[in-house]
């Protein structure tokens, strides 16, 4: 027989006829809760056999039981950030903790405090005026990748990956094609991720005696901008025979542009992606990519933040998150022009 499901905070709140935040405040002894409401919540908890979750109890004194996510505005069209967010939500739910999305423009006229016990910042962007505000707010922060150099302060925790090493591994796959004229579509100084990619791209090119071309594009570039940047790159550098696609899903747009221009992947040019995407294995040819494991990365960020808030991790904890290259057909054989 299955064991009965453990009562959750939301069950207590429903039994007492109050909101989840009120129930959390009543159980923790915090917040502005009347004696009658507190008694009702405690009675509901007793009837349901509810025991306060350890992580939730320690989250900033147990006052809220919610963590926040700060994401770039590109999240609405990014499969990467959708999977990353799902990982955070999955991990938080296992700890009976709510998740809220915090507006990225944190310092732009915000008149109310952030209602979260801690924050996860995905890919902190250079030039974001809200970052410094968050770092000075006193709210515990975990960043996915390191902060830009211009932001003062140190996050409570960092989950990062070696994108430079992954880029060098991507070059190893490109070597099979014999490509001699690499170009990288990327926002060069936008994030720690893009800075690492540029560093790896330059190192990989230098090791092979190649002349690298960096085609700058906004970190949050919409799809039409990706197409325009690709067309401009090929106009200015028609000799390009491999395009490293930085932004999430940009490889899809690049492949479309190449087809329209009469370029054939696997014959006179190839494409690789710095962010894997669910559609890339199904393109013709399939596209070699860096698998950033976004869902698992979200889980890692959430677990670190919860551990920090619960006292199981110390401030300044730095966690390297492993990523890998997935070799596919786009780098499986030599380009015909080099045969």
pLDDT score, position 254? 97
How much of the chain, in percent, has pLDDT values that exceed 90? 62
pLDDT score, position 55? 46
Total structural domains in the chain?
3
Residue range(s) defining the domain that contains residue 224: 163-291
- Say if CB 75 and CB 56 are below 8 A apart: no
Banded pLDDT at 32 (limits 50, 70, 90)? confident
Q: 179 pLDDT exceeds 60?
A: yes
pLDDT score, position 31? 61
The answer to whether residue 329 is domain-embedded is no
The CA angle 128-129-131, to the nearest 5 degrees, is 75
The answer to whether residue 144 is domain-embedded is yes
Question: Do 90 and 139 have their domain in common?
Answer: yes
CATH of the domain at 230: 3.40.50.2300
Residue with more model confidence, 101 or 287: 287
Pair of tokens at residue 26 = 């009543």
The answer to whether residue 334 is domain-embedded is no
Banded pLDDT at 75 (limits 50, 70, 90)? low
pLDDT score, position 52? 58
State pLDDT tens for residues 99-109. 998 865 544 44
State pLDDT tens for residues 86-125. 999 999 998 889 999 886 554 444 556 678 899 999 999 8
The CA angle 268-197-291, to the nearest 5 degrees, is 80
The answer to whether residue 155 is domain-embedded is yes
pLDDT score, position 33? 80
Q: Please tell me whether residue 236 adopts helix, strand or coil conformation.
A: helix
pLDDT score, position 54? 45
Banded pLDDT at 282 (limits 50, 70, 90)? very high
Conformational region of residue 271, where left means phi above 0, alpha means psi within -120 to 50, and beta covers everything else: beta
State pLDDT tens for residues 232-258. 999 999 999 999 999 999 999 999 999
163 CB contacts (<8 Å, ≥6 apart)?
A: 193, 196, 197, 200, 274, 290, 323
Q: 84 pLDDT exceeds 70?
A: yes
Question: Do 19 and 139 have their domain in common?
Answer: no
Q: Which residue from 324, 297, 317 is spatially nearest to 121, judged by alpha carbons?
A: 297
The answer to whether residue 75 is domain-embedded is yes
Question: Do 129 and 243 have their domain in common?
Answer: no
Question: Do 287 and 183 have their domain in common?
Answer: yes
CA atoms 239, 244, 249, 250: torsion sign: negative
CA distances from 79 to 73, 85, 226, 276, 282 (A): 13, 10, 16, 9, 16
State pLDDT tens for residues 258-273. 999 999 999 999 999 9
pLDDT score, position 221? 85
State pLDDT tens for residues 189-227. 889 999 999 999 999 999 999 999 999 998 888 899 999
Pair of tokens at residue 33 = 């809760």
Q: Average pLDDT in the 139-152 region?
A: 92
Q: Average pLDDT in the 37-60 region?
A: 71
**What is the spatial distance between Cα 297 and Cα 301, in angstroms, rounded to a whole number?**
6
The answer to whether residue 335 is domain-embedded is no
Mean pLDDT of the chain: 88
Question: Do 259 and 318 have their domain in common?
Answer: no
Question: Do 157 and 302 have their domain in common?
Answer: yes
Q: Please tell me whether residue 13 adopts helix, strand or coil conformation.
A: helix
């Amino acid at each position: 027989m299955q064991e009965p499901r453990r009562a959750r905070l939301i069950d207590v709140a429903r039994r007492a006829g109050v909101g989840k935040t009120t129930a959390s405040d009543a159980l923790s002894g915090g917040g502005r809760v009347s004696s009658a409401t507190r008694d009702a919540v405690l009675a509901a908890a007793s009837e349901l056999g509810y025991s306060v979750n350890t992580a939730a109890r320690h989250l900033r004194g147990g006052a809220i039981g919610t963590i926040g996510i700060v994401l770039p505005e590109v999240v609405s069209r990014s499969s990467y950030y959708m999977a990353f967010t799902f990982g955070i939500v999955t991990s938080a739910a296992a700890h009976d903790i709510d998740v809220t999305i915090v507006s990225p423009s944190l310092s732009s006229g915000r008149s109310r405090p952030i209602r979260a016990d801690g924050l996860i910042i995905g890919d902190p962007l250079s030039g974001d005026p809200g970052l410094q505000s968050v770092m000075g707010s006193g709210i515990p922060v975990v960043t996915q990748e390191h902060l830009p150099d211009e932001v003062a302060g140190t996050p409570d925790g960092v989950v990062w990956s070696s994108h430079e090493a992954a880029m060098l591994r991507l070059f190893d796959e490109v070597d099979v094609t014999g490509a001699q004229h690499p170009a990288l579509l990327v926002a060069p100084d936008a994030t720690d991720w893009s800075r690492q990619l540029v560093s790896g791209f330059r190192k990989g090119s230098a090791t092979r005696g190649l002349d690298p071309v960096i085609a700058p594009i906004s970190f949050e570039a919409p799809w039409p901008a990706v197409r325009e940047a690709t067309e401009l790159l090929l106009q200015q550098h028609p000799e390009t025979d491999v395009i490293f696609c930085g932004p999430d899903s940009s490889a899809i747009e690049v492949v479309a542009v190449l087809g329209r221009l009469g370029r054939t992947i696997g014959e006179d040019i190839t494409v690789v992606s710095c962010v894997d995407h669910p559609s890339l294995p199904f393109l013709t040819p399939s596209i070699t990519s860096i698998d950033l494991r976004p869902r698992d990365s979200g889980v890692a960020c959430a677990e670190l933040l919860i551990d920090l808030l619960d006292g199981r991790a110390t401030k300044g904890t730095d966690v390297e998150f492993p990523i890998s290259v997935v070799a596919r057909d786009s780098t499986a054989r030599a380009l015909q022009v080099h045969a």
